[in-house]
Structure 1
Amino acid sequence: MLKNALREDALSFGPDGFELRLGLPWIRSMPLSSIRGLSVSVDGWSPAEGELRVRLGQRAIPADALAGESGWWFIQDRLVILFPVNRFRDRSGSRRKVSVDFELMVPYLRGGADGPLVLPFHLEAMLQGLTGGPAGSLARRRLKADFRAGCAGWHTPPFRVTSAWRVLRPQPTP
């Protein structure tokens, strides 16, 4: 669980600063409101209060506002954390020490008589800053390549799957 939370392609640089894609270090999907005290540091530098934001779809909200969100952090998704500054842009090709700290409240497990279980997480990794696209693009290219290599010996079935996930069977020839 913990080793996949900060993957090697988790850090990317864009026009407004950088993005960090964080995987959920837990066995089940969790409500976004269960995340408390999110903080990030890169090479020992942390953003000022209020600068840390989280992208949820097309919106970017302050990290402290996650407690009021009704959405979910699914285990297959990455939480996109934004630093809206250009502090590290000139050194994007170097490896960086990235640290993430937060607490995860597990609402379905008791942590004692006073409330639910609260788990503290501290994640650390040396990450290569990527430029020219979202951080997940490298992982997607690798996944596609691995999938194609693994499927090399498979027999192609007599149907095809469209982009809308409908199965189209070939028409019989008269």
Structure 2
Amino acid sequence: MSFEHGLVPEDSLRAAPGGYTLDLRLPWMRSLPFSSVTGIRPTVNGIPADPGAVTLRIRGDEAELDELNAWWDRSWFIQERISLVVRSGPAVMEGEDADVAVAVDLSIPYILTGPGRPLAITQSSGRRLVAGGARPLAQVAS
């Protein structure tokens, strides 16, 4: 299985007021500090999410994408799901089929491509999903 295949689990899309929530898994072979995530770009039905409307829900905490660079001391584990919360545009209704794509930009700190230059990669995945209903936070963490 490729890294991209596991990025967007089959049951990861959920309807949310004014937008949607999408669970993601780390598309890499080892856990990485969250500061290694340099970008996440979700798209639903061909419409990209506004970066200003995107937050991440991680173990009960919420963070803006640009806050992750300070999370060098917290790791995204390879089997862990984090939730990408898109609070506005395009709304997804429970039971609706949607074409979902996401690209995750990573900076791999232990693979250098030059002096002081970590490997920079983008992992992408797309699939057709059926939106589920909202889940309590306790179920999102699993």
TM-score range, shorter chain: 0.7 to 0.9
1:87 Cα deviation after fit: 4.2
Supply the AA of the counterpart residue of 2:14.
Answer: S
8 A Cα contact 1:14 1:133, kept in partner: no
1:84 to 87, 94, 98: 87
Paired residues of 1:17 and 1:84 also in contact (CA < 8 A): yes
Give the distance between the partners of 2:84 and 2:14, measured in 1 at CA: 11
Instruction: Tell me how large the CA RMSD over aligned residues is.
Output: 2.3
What SS is found at the alignment partner of 1:67?
Answer: helix
Q: Deviations along 1:54-113, whole A, 9 cap, x unmatched? A: 012333221121112131100110121001137424x33121111111211110111234
In structure 2, what is the Cα distance between the partners aligned to 1:81 and 1:20? 5
Structure of greater Rg: 1
- TM-aligned CA distance change 1:16 to 1:56, over 3 Å: farther
Does residue 75 (structure 1) correspond to residue 78 (structure 2)? The answer is: yes
Aligned positions of 1:1-174 closer than 5 A:
1-15=3-17, 17-69=19-71, 70-85=73-88, 87-89=90-92, 91-113=93-115, 115-133=117-135
Relative contact order, CA 8 A, sep 6+: which one is greater?
2
TM-score (norm 1): 0.69
* 74 and 54 in structure 1: CA distance in 2 versus 1, 3 angstrom threshold: same
Cα distance between partner residues in 1 of 2:89 and 2:108 = 35
Counterpart for residue 158 of structure 1: none
d(CA) in 2 for partners of 1:58, 1:7:
20
1:10–1:136: 8 Å Cα contact kept in structure 2?
A: no
Identity of aligned residues (%): 28
Any idea what the Cα deviations from partners look like across 1:8-40, whole Å, max 9, x if unmatched? 101112346321111111110000000012111
Greater per-residue strand proportion: 2
Point out where structure 1 has 5 or more consecutive residues left out of the alignment. Answer: 141-174
Cα 1:135–1:43 shift into 2, 3 Å: farther
